[in-house]
Structure formats: C-alpha cells, structure tokens
Amino acid sequence: MIDLAVITIYTLALLVIFIYSLSQLHLLVNYLRATKTTDDSEKYDFSGEDELPPVTIQLPLYNEYYVVERLLKNIARINYPKDKLEIQVLDDSTDHSVEKTKVIVDELASKGFDIQHIRRKERTGFKAGALKEGLKIAKGEFIAVFDSDFMPGENWLFRTLPYFKNKKIGVVQTRWGHLNRDYSLLTRIQAFALDFHFILEQTGRNFGRNFINFNGTAGIWRKECILDAGNWSGDTLTEDLDLSYRAQMKKWEFKYLENVETPAELPVVISAARSQQFRWNKGAAENFRKNYGKLLQDPSVSLSTKFHGFFHLLNSSMFLIVLLLAIMSVPVLYIKTTNPDFSWYFNVLRAFAISTLIFFACYYVAYARIHGKGIRSFFKFIGMFLTFFSIAMGFSVHNSLAVLEGHFGKKSEFIRTPKFNINSLKDSWKGNRYLSKKISGNLIIEALLFLYFGFAIFSAFKLNEYGLLIFHLMLFSGFGFVVFKSLKPEV
C-alpha cells in the first residue's frame, strides 16, 4: 500500500508538470507566430509637441542609497517636454538616503523639472500604497513606473506612448534587460529565467490575447485604467499582478513590447535573490486566491485565457510540485528495483520525458533570441539549461514555503530587494548596509535534502539503476549551491 501511494503521488506530480509543459508549448507556438507577423497597431504620431499628452513618472523608493542618484539622473535624460512631464519621487525611506534624494531632487527642480519628493508618514500598503498616494495628485494622463534600479532609454516614452491611440489599451509593458547579466553564475541564471518570461511567455500570452501582467516597473499605464480597475491595492505582495488581472477583467487590453528593452540590475547575493523570489512566488499564490475564481466564473473570458490564467497564477506553485516529485523519486528508485511487477508501469512513465523536451525547446528559443543560434551558443545553452534547473530546484524549498503561505493566506510584510549599483566585475557588493545578515531558517532543510540526494546518487550505483541519476545529480548540485552560497556568499 505504501509503494502504491508513493507511485500514485509521483505519477500525479509528473502529470501536472506535463500539462504545465503543454501550456508552455502553446505559448511557444504563439511566440513563433508572433515573430512572423508585423505590428499593425494604430499609433499616435507625436511629431508635433502640441499632440503630446501629460505624463507622470512615478519612482517608488525605499532605502535606496546606492542607486537613487543613478536613477534620478537617468530619468532626467528622458526625452520629453518639461512642461508635460511630471516626476514623482515616492520616497518611503527610513534611513539617511532621504537627505541624499532630497539634494538631487532639489537640483533637478532648479533645472526646470517638475519633480516632487513625496514622503508619507506611514508606509501603509508598501509600494502599492505609495503609488496610490502619488496617483491622487498626479497630473499625467499616463503613468510610467520605474523601480530604483531601472534605466529607461532617452526615447522610452516616444516608443511606448504611441500605442495608446487604441483607447482600449490600458498598459504598455516593456522587456527587462540586465545591466549585470554576466557578473556571476547567480546573475546569469536569473537572467536566463527572466529572458524566458519576457521573451516567450509575455509575447506568447499577448499574441494569443490571453492575460499578461504589468511587471511592476518598466511599463506605463493609462491613468483611467488604474482607477477603473479599482486602483492599487496592498493586500498581496505582487500588487502589479493583482491590478493587471483586475484591469483585464474590466476588458482593458495590454500591449507588450518585446523590442523595447529597459535594463535593470539583478541581485548579486543569494539572500537578496531569496527575498525577491519569496515575494514573487508568495504574491502569485495570493493572486490565485484573490482573482482566479472571478476569472473562472466570467462567461465573457475565453477558455484559452482561463487555461493560461490558471498556470500563470499557479506558475510559482510548480516549485511545490517539483519538490514533491524530487522527494518521491528516491523511494521510487527502490520500488522500481525491488518490485519487478511494476516494471511495465515505469516504462509507461518514461513518456513523461516529453515534458523535459518541451521545456528544452521553449527555453532555447528564448535563449537564442538574446545569444544567437550558432553551435557554440547551443552548447552553452545546454549547460545553462541544466545549471538553471538544478539551481531552481535548489530554491524549491524556499519557494514552496512562500507558495504555501500565499495559498493559506498568511500575511507578511513587503520585503524589498537590496540594490547594489553593480555593473561590472570590478564593483563589489561587500559592505552593503541593506544586506540581511540572517541565514535563512530553511537552510537546515536544504542541507538535509543536499545529503538526501547525495544518498540517491549512492543508491543508483548500489542498485545498478541509473534512470534517475541525472535528475538526482541536478538536485544534489542545486541544493549544494544554495546551501554553500548561503553560508559563504562572498565565494
């Protein structure tokens, strides 16, 4: 009975991952179709300044001492008439970065910029609360949002605003770039994952007329859309995803621009990456609880959108499924070698290997979009694919706990991701005052799983059964990486 229960759980996990892979395959098909079509959107011609609409740029800040100067000086370079551009510095900081920000704001104001340094007495609603507070007095018809580590190009507004000629468009979102992609293995795997989302997933969903999400930054909203959708809300950790779904359920359309890149900085320390991952994964689960029931019950929403919305909002929950599959795989190894009656069934389960092939194809298309399609690039991709999924599985405990908290409604504070102002290998993050000195409480579980999958590798040779050896090697190295980098982040 125990053997049967283990095999059943293992099979169900494989089945869920397979269905999820089919959703990704559909996005791949949509992406390839999108690359073969021309953009026939009606666009405003902003050749005359009298046609330009008033725009507000919102810059939410919280203790951003290292990057605030770079941010504000870059925003000041954006090409747009000063009399039609308002800049709101929404500063919830609680440290001495406030004084630094004020000096730069005053300097820009003296140069003729319409810029305000807005401070709140209480950080109610965190980032969502700050954006909502600024919106009350915003002069702009359109609201652009940039996090503190983003560096939009000079013509960013002229490349995004024209799409709002279509009165149904509520948001134009651009693709994230990476200022420090090659700083370390940690930044390279983050870039690998984000490129996949911003190239294949966002384009595929948008082309297929399914719901996409404003990514919290590097996008611009029609102010009317924000208000019509119910305004910003701080009741989830991903206020951007929440407002995106509420707006699209109000029949607003989103436009995604893959070809407009807005570069930003990736976390260079594993503790910072952990905090970011925790917020994103828990927030997605919270949004599933809050919004998917409404989406499912809406008769005007297509089955395709409901299908992709399900996996979009439950994307982070795949960590929980993968963790379950990984843990079950070790007893499965022993069941397979000690119960020959099950051999036929395990042969059937091999068919689920197609999921891996689907993921491989999907990630390669996104990777090739950035790095090219040559032979050398392909072999580099294979190494990156294996490395990424290994380390992603190493994060599965941390991310699964975040997902469970989101699904069960446990509330927690918005934990910011420390910024570093790092662009090259010469720049150092050591001494950053915002870094958490605490070691994650999950580290003991991760260390135990590191040993557990070491035992799985030993078992493969002991039992002379190598079908799961690569999988267990990936898990062993992934958990090893996470444990080692958590204990020795400077190495």
The C-alpha atoms of residue 262 and residue 88 are separated, in whole angstroms, by 19
Burial code (b: 16+ CB inside 10 Å, e: under 16) for 41-69 equals eeeeebeeeeebebbbbbbbbbbbbbbbb
Residue 331: closest CA among 472, 448, 477: 472
The two tokens of residue 111 are 């140069």
Query: In sequence order, which ranges of 395-442 are alpha helices (DSSP H)?
Result: 396-407
Q: Which of 91, 92, 149, 195 is catalytic?
A: 92
Residue 218, exposed/middle/buried by CB under 10 A (0-12, 13-18, 19+)? buried
Secondary structure class of 436 (helix, strand, coil)? coil
457 contacts: CB under 8 Å, gap ≥ 6: 469, 472, 473, 476
The count of other CB atoms within 10 Å of the CB of residue 326 is 23
CA dihedral 306, 308, 312, 314 (to 10 degrees): 70
Options 91, 147, 240, 242, the catalytic residue: 240
End-to-end CA separation in angstroms for the chain: 47
Taking the C-alpha atoms of residue 351 and residue 329, their distance in angstroms, rounded to an integer, is 16
The β-bridge partners of 272 are: none
What DSSP state is assigned to residue 150?
B
Tell me whether residue 50 is one of the annotated catalytic residues. Answer: no
240 is catalytic: yes
Cα 53 from Cα 201, distance rounded (Å): 31
Work out the angle between the directed axes of helices 270-287 and 239-249 (0-180°, nearest 10): 30
Closest CA to 134 of 11, 17, 226, 13: 226
Token pair of 341, please?
């009656």
Residue 361, Cα to own-chain centre: how many angstroms? 20
CA distances from 413 to 27, 195, 436 (A): 33, 28, 15
Mark residue 86 as left, alpha or beta (left: phi above 0; alpha: psi -120 to 50; beta: remaining): beta
Cβ partners under 8 Å of residue 137, min gap 6? none
Do residues 368 and 200 lie in contact, with contact meaning Cβ atoms separated by under 8 Å? Answer: no
> Nearest to residue 268, comparing CAs of 344, 182, 194, 196?
182
- Could you list the active site residues? 92, 240
